[in-house]
Every structure is written in structure tokens, then in C-alpha cells.
Amino acid sequence: MSERHALTRRIRRWLVLFIVCLVLSGLTAFPLVTELRWAEDLLASSASPVPEHLPGLMEWITRVREGLDTIDREQPFMLYGTDWLAFAHLVIAVAFYGPYRDPVRNIWVIEFGMIACAGIIPLALICGPIRSIPFWWSVIDMSFGVFGVIPLLIVRRMIKRLEGLERTAAANPAGVPASA
């Protein structure tokens, strides 16, 4: 197996992981009301240490669940916004098929993703306080950008290596080693 082929396979594996995470993140935005009910039940169960050791988390989950229940009961159209959030995740995931097909030509999608990951930080720091989100929850939100950028940085580095290999192959199409 050539180095180019092996590198392309590794790039694609990382991209599949990233795409799967985006899709899962998007799909989980659809059933928020049900998910929050399940999360609260799980965290409040007798086997859970959360109420005793992390009462702030328990209070926050309960508050969010109560808010979503109220919105779902009285103003269900407001949840349409989270449907669009889910849709956006799915559309962005589709965009990463471009680098999967042709990593060098579509490196801009990787860089776009890196910019989006970086943008999570100021969004959480600005909008979190405006929306009365606890700072520790904003830190959790920011972690998605931090952890999301890691595979993209790895993929970008590998694409740059692949680009160099392709340039070398184009400059020497016969594969004849340069004389010393």
C-alpha cells in the first residue's frame, strides 16, 4: 500500500468519526423534551450520586426540563428552533463528504470546521450570561469546540502531508528517484 493511499485512508477514518459525531449531535437535538426527562430521571435515581455531590447540576437539569415542559405544553412552536439546530448539524456533516472524497481539494471545509469550533468559545462566553446560563455549563458548551477542533487539526495536518506527496508525484510522474 502506498503512503498516499494509507494517508488517505487515515484521513477518511478521522472524517467518518467527525461526521458521525456531528450527525449524533444533530439527531439528539430533535427529542430534547424526552431526553431531558430521561436525564433528570437517571440523575435523580437512587443509584445516582448527582443529587448529593452535584446539587447545582441537578437543579440546573430540573430547571431546564421544567422550562422545556412548559414550552412544549404552551408554546411548542418554540422548539422549532432546536429542529433547525439539528438540521444545521446534519447539513454541516454532509459538507464533510467533500474532504472525504477529495481531501486536498476540499481542505477549506476542514478549515471552515476549525473556524466554527473556535467560534463556539465567544458564543458561549457572550450568549451564556445573556441567557442566564451557568458559567460551568458554558464551559461544557465550549468543550465541544475544543474537542471538535482536535480531529480537524489532525486531519488538516495529514491533508497537508498528502498534498506534498501529490505535488511530488506530479513533479515526478515516472516515479524515478532523483539522482544524488
pLDDT-derived band at 172 (thresholds 50, 70, 90) equals confident
pLDDT tens for 108-131 read 999 999 999 999 999 999 999 999
Q: What is the pLDDT of residue 175?
A: 64
Secondary structure, 3-state, 57-126? HHHHHHHHHHHHHHHHHHCHHHHHHHHHHHHHHHHHHHHCHHHHHCCCCCHHHHHHHHHHHHHHHHHHHH
